[in-house]
Each structure stands twice: as C-alpha cells, then as structure tokens.
Amino acid sequence: MKKISILFLTLALSAQSFAQKNASVNFSRYFTGLTMRVDYFHTGTAAEEHFSLDRILNDGPWAGSETVLLDELNRGLYFFKITDTATNTLLYSRGFASVFGEWQSTGDPSWGTFHESLRFPWPLLPVKLTIEKRDAKNNFVAIWSMVVDPKSRIVNPSVLKSTYKSFPYIENGKTSTHVDIVILGDGYTAAEMDKFHKDVATLTDELFTVEPYKSRKADFNVRAVETPSASSGVNKPHPGVFNRTPLSMSYGAFDSERYALSYDNRTLRDVAATVPYDYMFILINERTYGGGGIFNLYSTVAADNKFSKYIFVHEFGHCFAALADEYYTSDVSYQPAAVTVEPWEPNVTALLDPAKLKWKDLVKPGTPVPTPWDKTEFDNFSYGIQKERRALRAANVPETEMENLFEREKKTTLEMFGKNKYKDAAGAFEGGNYMQFGLYRSALDCIMFTRNRQEFCPACTRAITEVIDMYSH
C-alpha cells in the first residue's frame, strides 16, 4: 500500500512539473500557427565548429504540439532554444542531432560544411535562437545564437507552393495532437510510383506491428510525397554504381558502404514541407542492404532488401527517440572514446553507479546488475560473422549471399540467447553503442542490437513512448 502511494505521489509530482513548465507558454500568445524554418550552414573541423545563416522561411502550418512546447527529455548531441527577447521566457526547445555531428565524430581532419534546418512555431515577436552542444560531461553549453525578428526583411513569409504530389496513408486527426510522419522516396521513376505507394504501405504497416507503436497507432498520421527520378536506383559508390536523383540519396556516407544518407538538406526540407510533418523518413528504391537514422532529422532504408522491415524500424528508432545502437561488433565509422561519463542516450548506460541505473524501476528485484550472459561466446561468433561480411562486400557478391549470412547469424544467436536465464528480464547486459566493454543495454536482445526479433528492449520502449506523448498532447 505504502509503495503504491509513493509511486502515485512521484507520478503526480512529475506530471505537475511537466504541466507547470509547459503551461507557462501560451501558444496563441506567442505564435501564429505557422512554422518558421531557419536554414544555416554548419561548418568546421574535428576540433571546431561555426554557423552561418542561409535563409529564414515559412515552412507551412505548425504540425507539432501546441501544449508541449518544451523538450524535457534531454536527448541529442545538440539542443536549440527559442526565447522571447522582451521577457527572456523560454518558448520552445528541442534536442536534435546532425550530419555535421556524425561527420565530426569520424575524426576526418579536413573542413566540412553541412546544411541544416531548425523548425519551430512562427513567433509573433522577436525571439532569440540559441544552439547548444554537449560538453565533455554531457551538459549542454550555448555555442551559437541569433535574434530573429519575424518582421525583418531577412525573414521570407511567403507560402511554399509545392509542385510535388502527396498522398495520405494514415489520417487519424489534427496535426497538433498527433505524431505526423512524412515519407519521401528516392530512386523511384514515374513508372515505379505504384511501387513507392506499395513500399510506403508495407513499411508503415510493419512499424505498427511493433510495440509501443502498435498500441499507439491512433496517435499517428502518415503522409507521403512523390519525387519521381529519371532513372531507377540511387548512388552506390562502393560497387561503382553512380547516379543522380532528386533527393541525392547515396550509400557510402562517411565511406561506410551500408550507410545511406542525403546531404541535400535544402531539397529534402522543401519536399518534406509539401505536407505538415514532425518526422521524416526516406525510402530508397534499392535492394542493397542499407539505411541510416539521425535524431530529429530523418531516417532512411533500402526498400527491397530481405531485412528492409527490420532496418526501417531500427533506423526510425534513431530518428524518432534518439536511441543508441546497441550493437558493437560490426564496423562503424565512429571512433568511440573510453566511457568516463554516463551517455545521454536513453537505452545505454555506463553503469558508473549501479544503484542509480537509469532504468532501475524496470528491473525486477532479484535480477543481478550487471546481468550475466554468454558474452564471450556471442562476441567470438559475431566478430567471425563481421569478418565474413567484410570479405563478401569486398568480393561484391550478389545480395542473396549477404542475406544468407545474416540468416545464419540470426539462427545461431537466437539459439544462443534462448538458453539464457535472463533472456526476458530487464537488467544491465554488457556491450552496446559500439563498445564491447564498459557500456550496458537493458535487455539481452532488442531491435537496436540484432536482427533477431521485432521487439524493443524495455528502455527503448519507454524512450519511444515518451516521444509519442510529447507530440500527441
């Protein structure tokens, strides 16, 4: 009884502070109902970064919540704030990640410039836009700011007249109380538009077979925009297949053969704004295994691979809820440093203080933390698979051979995990976020870890639910 009342009190208090903070921002007092989009260039090296304004535009009706304007989830490498210059009131905030941030983590010694956009409700009066970035201790520190006067000549309020065709796939209601997803497609010719419609249906349906999306389907709208391409397929530099498409999707981002991104943010944003949206997904008309996902920017997937459904849900996890990869044995372009501070990602922990495990409330009494599992057996097997994978890619074999390798990997790891005493328990299992040691995940298996099952671990499930709540109130 006592336990229940304490839990209730905690819930009541956190709900109250959430409402209080957000209640301080009266939407119609500060905003018009349109979306302001600030486009800028993000330039730098591995050691420094700079911002320069490109343009400020009207991105159409505001699709986000009108009541939950402040982001209290503390996710992303970057964070931006909109404050009223007259009263210094915080009006809107959001965590995000960027291609620049990914590029910077590769340690490339040259200079890089990437185009980025920030979208927020169109202010009635001048506001200050501040971009913050995590410091070495993962605290946010301001690195750039500018004042935006909505009446000034540098702000272009004209309405976008999109020439692209769009279609709704799921319509559940008002944009302000629903999560609005826009799906774009690249490498589909005009003759392949029926296939694009079919791919949108197949992959969207898949997302809503997985919890917590499944139970919350009524909180989503999904719309798609057509951008027909002159030829079929996208750019694939590793096997020497070169192509130019409307959205400039390309495999080989940061020289990783399976990492598919577009750096043409200006075009992506103009196309996406054809419909109201909170989150963007891009389908690639290709069979070659690949995709990518960047928090609050977009996620991508090759639509015709045997594992497309899996990749779609996995990559959307990065984009939607800032989930970390839980795998660590495959090659990635990042150079992870030793873990000395707690990661901000909701689904991995450094377990610096097991008593303060961030998903402690999800762990049943009696489950050891850290939680034992056959890690050595898994690591030996998994590093062997990665070696075979590299050899197959280098030999440029047909995609079927790669898919067979992944099927073999899946079969063996499912058998291995099936024996584990804690296979269905929440705990702290070592290995995650590209680190073989020193980082822990909340369950033995998860969509962010393996291709075994379409099921998120408890930490990921909660992290996704929290974002759905933010956009559906």
- Asked if residues 471 and 66 have their Cβ atoms less than 8 Å apart, the reply is no
**Within positions 414 to 453, which residues make up the interface with Zn ion, using CB under 5 A?**
446, 448
CA-CA distance, 303 to 239, in Å (whole number)? 18
The nearer residue to Zn ion, 79 or 440, going by C-beta atoms, is: 440
Residue choice 457, 463, 467, 468 for contact with Zn ion (CB under 5 A): 457
The span of 35-43, 335-343, 376-384, 459-467 binding Zn ion (CB under 5 A) equals 459-467
CB 349 to Zn ion: min, Å = 12
The nearer residue to Zn ion, 104 or 347, going by C-beta atoms, is: 347
The nearer residue to Zn ion, 25 or 322, going by C-beta atoms, is: 322
The nearer residue to Zn ion, 200 or 457, going by C-beta atoms, is: 457
Q: Nearest to residue 166, comparing CAs of 122, 191, 189, 200?
A: 200
- Based on DSSP, count helices (H) and strands (E) in the chain, helices before strands: 9, 17
Residues in contact with Zn ion, total (CB under 5 A)? 5
- Asked if residues 464 and 320 have their Cβ atoms less than 8 Å apart, the reply is yes
Pairing of strands 140-148, 127-134: antiparallel
H-helix or E-strand containing 117?
A: strand 112-123
List, in order, residues 6 or more apart from 349 with CB less than 8 Å away: 342, 343, 357, 358, 359, 428, 439, 440
Q: Token pair of 54, please?
A: 């490109």
What is the DSSP track for 94-109? EEE--HHHHHHHTT--
Location of structure tokens 């440093």? 337
CB 101 to Zn ion: min, Å = 21
The span of 123-131, 244-252, 391-399, 455-463 binding Zn ion (CB under 5 A) equals 455-463
CB 375 to Zn ion: min, Å = 17
**Within positions 327 to 366, which residues make up the interface with Zn ion, using CB under 5 A?**
347
CB 207 to Zn ion: min, Å = 16
Determine if 181 is a binding residue for Zn ion (CB under 5 A): no
CA-CA distance, 187 to 100, in Å (whole number)? 24
Q: Is the peptide bond before 239 cis (omega within 30 degrees of 0)?
A: no
CB 216 to Zn ion: min, Å = 17
The nearer residue to Zn ion, 220 or 449, going by C-beta atoms, is: 449
The nearer residue to Zn ion, 188 or 429, going by C-beta atoms, is: 429
CB 203 to Zn ion: min, Å = 20
The nearer residue to Zn ion, 65 or 413, going by C-beta atoms, is: 413
Determine if 460 is a binding residue for Zn ion (CB under 5 A): yes
List, in order, residues 6 or more apart from 21 with CB less than 8 Å away: 70, 72
Determine if 261 is a binding residue for Zn ion (CB under 5 A): no
CB 464 to Zn ion: min, Å = 10
Site residues, Zn ion (CB under 5 A): 347, 446, 448, 457, 460
